[in-house]
Every structure is written in C-alpha cells, then in structure tokens.
Amino acid sequence: GYGNNLNVAHMVHEYEAAGITAVCMEDKLFPKMNSFVATSHTLLDTEEYCSKVRVAKNAQRGEDFFFIARTEALIDGLGVEVALERCHAYVDAGADAVLIHSKARTKDQVLEFLRGWQDRAPVVVVPTTYPDWHADDAVKDGVSTIIYANQGLRATVSALRDTYASILSHGETTHLEDKIASVKDVFALQRLADWQELESA
C-alpha cells in the first residue's frame, strides 16, 4: 500500500498491463517492515486503507483483477476482533479477499479469525510460524489460498550455502554435478530457444 491513492491507481494500471491478475496490499504504513522483525508495526487508519481499496478497484480496467486486502492487525498485537473489524471494512470497500497474517507459533489466532469471519469472502493465509497446519486441514477450516513464499527463498539460501561450502571443501564441483540443475535446464527456464528463434526471424 505504498504511497498515496494515486500510487495505488498507478500500480493497478501497471500490473494489469503486465498481465498480473491479482495484488495483495498490506494495511501497514510505508515503508513497511517484514512482519517477523521484532519492531513496531504501525497500521494505516482503517478508513485510509479502505480509501486505497476503493481507488484500486475503481482503477482496474478488467473484471478479472483480484484485490486481496492483507491486515497486519495480529502482527501489530491488536487482536482477532480488530482484525475482523478491519477485514469486514475492507470487503465493504470492495476487496475481493482478505489475508490474515499471524506470527504466533500456532494457528489458533487464525482459526479464531476464521470462526468469526464465517466465509464472507475468500481468506488467504501465510503459515510461516505454524508450518504443521496441513493444507487439507486449512481448507476444511475455511482457508481459500495458502501462500508458501519465503520457503523458496529460505531453501535457496540453504542450497547456496551448502553448495559453496562443498566447493570450498573439495576444491572442485564433480561431486555436485548430479545434484544441481544443468545449464540446459537453466536455458529451458529462460526459454532461450524461443528468444533465439525471434532473433533469427
């Protein structure tokens, strides 16, 4: 939710033009701090955030653009009731879904939210600190979408550490070659052949 309402409208226009069909915007003050950092996490005033939601929905050009309103009320220690109040206001303002985030070590806060929410709109969760919540159980509890974003980043960090420590230890990479992606795999991910075809046309 960076900047003012004009920034939000510009973001929606640019994302839609790029083919992006959804955006998730937090209700924190900009610039935001990661939710798991031990610091204050000041939120925007509810009405100010609702204004951004309305602007975003009014700015979209196609019917398929999906706006997810993310509240950091639990991260800021404001409790489930405040999270529910905020999310109801965000849906009233036009949000297509809500994201409820918690840094508690169990899913209990989120479950309490889901019980109070009563399926009013789709709910997105990010179970970073309660990784034992099985996806099937989360869906049964009323969750529509689960985001596993930082796991990929964290896996990359671990893989890079292990790979380069191994190279440093062995002095060469023969022992790694069957464990790491081939150069051919990288080219395939880049769609290199398609680009080369365009260049030669």
pLDDT of residue 49: 96
Ordered by start, the domain boundaries in the chain are 5-148, 156-200
Question: Residues 166-182: pLDDT tens digits?
Answer: 999 999 999 999 999 99
**Which string of DSSP letters, residue by residue, matches 156-176?**
HHHHHHHHHHHHHHHSSSGGG
DSSP 192: H
pLDDT of residue 196: 93
Shortest CA distance to 25 belongs to which of 2, 55, 51, 57?
2
Pairing of strands 66-71, 22-26: parallel
Say if pTM beats, i.e. exceeds, 0.85: yes
**CB burial of residue 128 (10 Å; 0-12, 13-18, 19+):** middle
Arithmetic mean of pLDDT, 124-152: 96
pLDDT of residue 70: 96
Cα torsion for 121, 6, 3, 64, to the nearest 10°?
Answer: 30
Residues 86 and 28 sit within 8 Å (Cβ to Cβ) = no
pLDDT interval class at 130 (50, 70, 90): very high
How far CA 112 is from CA of 70, 92, 106, 118, 141, in Å, comes to 17, 21, 11, 10, 10
- Domain 5-148: CATH superfamily is Phosphoenolpyruvate-binding domains (3.20.20.60)
Residue with more model confidence, 39 or 19: 19
Residues 136 and 117 sit within 8 Å (Cβ to Cβ) = no
Pairing of strands 97-100, 66-71: parallel
pLDDT interval class at 32 (50, 70, 90): confident
Question: Residues 70-105: pLDDT tens digits?
Answer: 999 999 999 999 999 999 999 999 999 999 999 999
pLDDT of residue 37: 66
